[in-house]
Chains A and B, each alone.
Chain A
């Protein structure tokens, strides 16, 4: 048995260039990783064909919940089963690695979409002409008028539609199902046969005389029961295939592995896992089940996997059936499985709204346990090693740094950050537990929570938290400055809040913006509940509901208020840009009277052409957000708190409430592209600020000023904030530099920070990467909340990364 932690400064642990680190992977993992990275992404029409045939035959014969469960069972019975060479953890969403299914019941790709996906330069999804023809013949005609996307767009008002198309807000669920489904530990202690017993108990208890909802509950519970069968059938088909392959295998080692795979798949997910191998395979079957029944945003996430798997690790080490190496190999196999599942592509393919797609699986390690103690363990360290060695696009990783988290773990995390792959991101449980408690969760359930996807938090295994779309706050200010008109689309989108040239005070301007902001928030809210109902009615997630408390005991679906906690989020972007615009107008127009409102708005309308002197003066001599300057920070706090007040606390259809968070992913690029120039000197169509980060180039006083500014927001009023910081590698060369990074993180978290992530790159590298993409194929960078390959990003995104302030230091 190998002992615990490698020495902190062991060279083998964290060499600066990753090729050397590949020594940490064994040959099996090297081969599997290579296959995962090099296999091109393809589209598979198999799921759509099975589903369409099933719907044609059965739609209308069963209640929708039962129909959906039967559809899931049909897919599990019929889809192609894959077990690859070298694999220990098995099963794919498609018929082979990186083959991505479509979900026509949510949104149906057109023939044109499929051609575009097949041929576009960035992130193509290859599909054969034969499959496109089949899709056109078999799939597309059936779904016309029946998709969730059409249900939504046929319902919304003209006003909503125009604001949506102008980029005032986006809508998450027009193409995918709600996501943010993160698991707690229950799937490791009960098998689906146990779950079927629980369902039967609930069915036995139904009171059809006195409970008017009993019939609905019966349908939902029956559907859940069928979903259990579906996953068990899916696993058994893998067992059969493994047995068949074992019988034909001549290599005795591989034969034994295949026999083990067969044993594991016969046991899980029907029963609770007994060892680490079964536990990991159990998770993977559950994962694939949820992303096969529906296509959710942030599809699925194991949550605190180091804590969940810890008992299996300890037991295996203690009884001699497991070594550290074996555990690492099994986990590495799971990591590769995550990378094998690119997200289903969007229709219409704007590619702008979110540059590239992955499923945003964000593994949480460290953090706190349900009773508030340090949650890190040896597996947390093993996972850091795996993340560094494999450095794939997926899964993402976050380290959770509470006051009780030991420095040794944080520093080990910072060593991986230093590699510059863009992860792990860093979260503060002391802050987000408070956020969750403020939203009404029990302290224990909150501690069991964490982040999924980017920065949004929830109570793992107990909450349906639905993100509904981004809100473009600089755009709202732009519309205010144009008295309700959008200069980009030339349409009147908002309220007539007055010609700002007639305003006599800053307060008057702010009041006009505030009215406009409430107007658009309410417009967004007015449609959210309708969309929620469409999912409850047409797309219940009967398999996912098995794993989220208290869906079974309530007899209600995940989308229908079954979860213990039910939150609806609106994500606000551009706090930095909006603040800087306000600071500019307040200082230069109303206080110093350097420019009149007319002069400023004329320059803005001209995209500052012919007004470069004014633009320079504004950019260099205005107190901007992110500099620990009270002038700007006070405005930011006000803008933020008013957003909180506007969004928080409206009832949703599931018994919960609306909340805000401050996420942007890459939407700040899309939102910037629909905005003309802004008063802070930002030119037309450039990105707005991301998350709660300062606007690009606005922070000029280094990272401690940035965290101080951010620390002034009461982040516990949100469901997450986002801070991007960029460091050049030179800043983190030495051992003591890592200590300083740990201190910087700790200091920010003492100030109440929710999240921070670091880009460790130098400008030269990035410029070079733009010129010679072929030499930088696995260069990963951090873009607002998730990792991506630099090569796969648009030039616009690449330029933004380069433009972000460097915290360079001599």
Chain B
């Protein structure tokens, strides 16, 4: 199990100031994904050409002769075994490994560094990804340990998982933050690679069980920002036995492009049309939620 980032002073990942742990691996393939290094469960090397000074330390370091310097920067050859030796030696951090294994002790030591800040701000730790429910045993292990340390826990998830998995995690978190990407399952499948039925079923389940949860909607013009979809979301949420404490509208941005480049993967390869909705439309969506009794705002 790998964690690909630990972000301190996370101020958009739940209540207060938080430490966010990003877990590797995700069953979804959202076209707009801004954390593409979180998709695969395995470690992946990332390369930032802008940082590279062409010193060829990596080329010289590689025991397999798996790297070459080209006019386009460093490229890997078929010999590369992903051993990571190059990453350890790169002077500029142009080569970095997405995904690191941590012992529970190491992880807690890092998290505890910000205890005073978390306590002062009413914050805590957020488990995010990727999709943290991809590795439920590891997730629960971390959550239990955080619980023993009396730290507030938030799981930021798509809830695309089996009911059993969600039930397993549920008692160990203080808050869920659940993404809702589209109410139409076919379109959900088109843009994320999976249908939405398990997600909606699980949202209903955690609501029935009285879990505290927030809903987060990435608002994307061309995908899900239309009034019909928003109204369907509202209708779905209104029927639930307990309401989300908060609805966050997260306007689309394309900062994922840079990360795809580093990974050597393509952003939005099918060139689907996506854009940021206008400020007026964002405000309109917020008003729709608010007029239906939801605490809703832009941003997380």
Contacts and interface: CB of A to CB of B under 8 A. Distances in A.
Nearest to B15: A736
Contacts of A628: 113
A734 B297 contact: yes
Contacts of A747: 17, 116-117, 120-121
A35 interface: no
Q: Which of A613, A704, A739, A744 has the most C-beta atoms of chain B within 10 angstroms of its own C-beta?
A: A704
Interface size classification for chain A: 20 to 34
B83 interface: no
B121 A809 contact: no
B64 interface: no
Nearest to A750: B116
SS of A interface (majority):
helix
A705 B10 CA distance: 12
Given A613-B53, A807-B9, A809-B9, A743 B91 contact: no
Nearest to A731: B11
B8 A809 contact: no
A708 B113 contact: yes
Given A809-B9, A809-B12, A620 B17 contact: no
Interface in A748-784: 750-751
A357 interface: no
Interface in A672-711: 701-705, 707-708
B8 A616 contact: no
A740 interface: yes
A746 interface: yes
B93 interface: yes
B121 A744 contact: yes
A704 B117 CA distance: 7
B175 to A, nearest CB: 15
B16 interface: yes
B121 A810 contact: no
B299 A750 contact: no
A324 to B, nearest CB: 32
Interface in B248-270: 253, 255
A743 B121 contact: yes
Nearest to B297: A734
Contacts of A740: 11, 16-17, 121
A740 B92 CA distance: 33
Interface string B21-35: 000000000000010
A762 B93 CA distance: 25
B11 A613 contact: no
A371 interface: no
Given A616-B53, A807-B9, A809-B9, A734 B121 contact: no
A751 B116 contact: yes
Given A616-B53, A747-B120, A810-B255, A704 B114 contact: yes
Contact of A613 (B9, B55, B120, B121): B55
A743 B120 contact: yes
B290 interface: no
A704 B11 contact: no
Contacts of A744: 9, 17, 117, 121
A305 B8 CA distance: 38
Contact of A737 (B11, B91, B117, B253): B11
A701 B16 contact: no
Given A705-B9, A707-B117, A809-B12, 10 more contacts: A613-B53, A616-B91, A704-B17, A731-B11, A734-B297, A737-B11, A743-B16, A746-B120, A751-B116, A810-B253
Interface in B95-150: 113-114, 116-117, 120-123
B57 interface: yes
A609 interface: no
A686 B197 CA distance: 59
Interface string B49-88: 0000101010000000000000000000000000000000
B120 A620 contact: no
A155 interface: no
A702 B9 contact: yes
Interchain residue pairs A-B with the least CB separation, the first 5: A743-B121, A617-B91, A702-B9, A616-B91, A747-B120
A708 B112 CA distance: 12
Nearest to B9: A702
27 contacts: A613-B53, A613-B57, A613-B91, A616-B92, A620-B91, A620-B92, A621-B91, A621-B93, A703-B9, A704-B117, A705-B113, A708-B114, A734-B297, A739-B121, A740-B16, A743-B16, A743-B117, A743-B121, A744-B17, A744-B121, A747-B116, A750-B116, A751-B116, A809-B9, A810-B34, A810-B253, A810-B255
Given A744-B121, A746-B120, A810-B255, A702 B8 contact: yes
A405 to B, nearest CB: 14
A162 interface: no
A750 B120 contact: yes
A612 interface: yes
B57, B120, B299: residue with the most chain A Cβ atoms closer than 10 Å = B120
Nearest to A730: B299
A701 B19 CA distance: 11
A182 B100 CA distance: 54
Of listed B10, B92, B255, residue having the most chain A CB within 10 A: B92
Nearest to B116: A747
Interface string A604-643: 0000000011101100110000001000000000000000
A702 B17 CA distance: 12
Contacts of A734: 297, 299
A271 B253 CA distance: 65
B297 A701 contact: no
A620 B121 contact: no
A621 B57 CA distance: 14
A613 B299 CA distance: 41
Contacts of B11: 731, 737, 740, 809
Contacts of A701: 8
Interface in B142-178: none
B64 to A, nearest CB: 22
A429 to B, nearest CB: 17
A334 B8 CA distance: 43
B14 to A, nearest CB: 11
Interface string A136-180: 000000000000000000000000000000000000000000000
Contacts of B16: 740, 743
B92 A704 contact: no
A810 B250 CA distance: 11
Contacts of B113: 628, 704-705, 708
Nearest to A618: B91
Interface string B276-300: 0000000000000000000001010
Contacts of A703: 9
A744 B121 CA distance: 7
Contacts of A613: 53, 55, 57, 91
Given A621-B91, A704-B114, A809 B120 contact: no
Nearest to B110: A628
B12 A704 contact: no
A742 B255 CA distance: 29
Contacts of A737: 11
Contacts of A612: 53, 55
Interface string A782-810: 00000000000000000000000001011
Nearest to A628: B113
Contacts of B91: 613-614, 616-617, 620-621
Contacts of A807: 9
A810 B10 CA distance: 9
Contacts of B253: 810
